[in-house]
Amino acid sequence: MTSGMSAGAVEIREATRADWPAIWAFFAPIVAAGETYAYPEDLTSAQAEDLWFKEPPGRTVVAVDAATGAVLGSAGMGPNRPGRGDHVGTASFMVSPNARGRGVGRLLGEHVVAWHRAQGYAGIQFNAVVETNTAAVALWRSLGFEIVGTVPGAYRSRAHGLVGLHVMHLDLR
């Protein structure tokens, strides 16, 4: 299975509910690892699915292996706030551990930035990037995001204890 995911083009398409089992296969262990996301404890698959699939004007996409169709990662995106804050977007990302090294996170990140730009958003805000998730921080920086500030000790990392949560922002104006 790893070999089947080790090469080949990666494509991004709209996610459908039929993709959920494949997303949940990496969503669940990523959340359980306790290093990147603050989701509720003991989230059921159905609850996670409802959180992950964004209502319009938001949307959720998957990154798939163009040859096999295997789901390698997913991103949800849309307004960060309602009302007078809905001109700034946000997004969440999950990449299958089996797909590491294939640039799936970067591809999803570039897609998310391009989508927000095309939709006319004024910027993108990430509300809670775990500071010890250095790969993610470096990726977002490389896409132009800046660390607006860091809330000290706001995340209980399984490995590192209390660590900060970065608020990151990309200005699209």
C-alpha span between 118 and 48 (Å, rounded):
28
29 near a second copy, rule: CB under 8 A = no
Is residue 112 within 8 Å of 147, Cβ to Cβ?
no
32 near a second copy, rule: CB under 8 A = no
Nearest residue to 163 (alpha-carbon basis) of 127, 128, 126, 125: 128
Residues 61 to 100 in contact with a second copy, rule: CB under 8 A: 80-88
In angstroms, what is the minimal distance from the CB of 73 to a second copy? 21
The residue from 8, 30, 34, 59 that contacts a second copy (CB under 8 A) is: 34
Pairing relationship of beta strands 88-95 and 123-130 according to DSSP bridges:
parallel
50 near a second copy, rule: CB under 8 A = no
Residue with tokens 């003991």: 42
Greatest Cα pair distance, the chain, in angstroms, is 48
Q: Which is nearer to a second copy, 103 or 147 (CB)?
A: 147
152 near a second copy, rule: CB under 8 A = yes
Q: Which stretch binds a second copy (CB under 8 A): 21-29, 92-100, 103-111, 150-158?
A: 150-158
Residues 93 to 132 in contact with a second copy, rule: CB under 8 A: 122-123, 125, 127-128
On the question of a cis peptide bond just before residue 57, with omega within 30 degrees of 0, the verdict is yes
Residue with tokens 């977007």: 89
28 near a second copy, rule: CB under 8 A = no
C-alpha span between 72 and 105 (Å, rounded):
9
30 near a second copy, rule: CB under 8 A = no
Tokens of 88: 């700034």
Question: Which spans of this chain sit near a second copy (rule: CB under 8 A)?
Answer: 31, 34, 37-41, 80-88, 122-123, 125, 127-128, 147-157, 162, 165, 167, 169, 171, 173
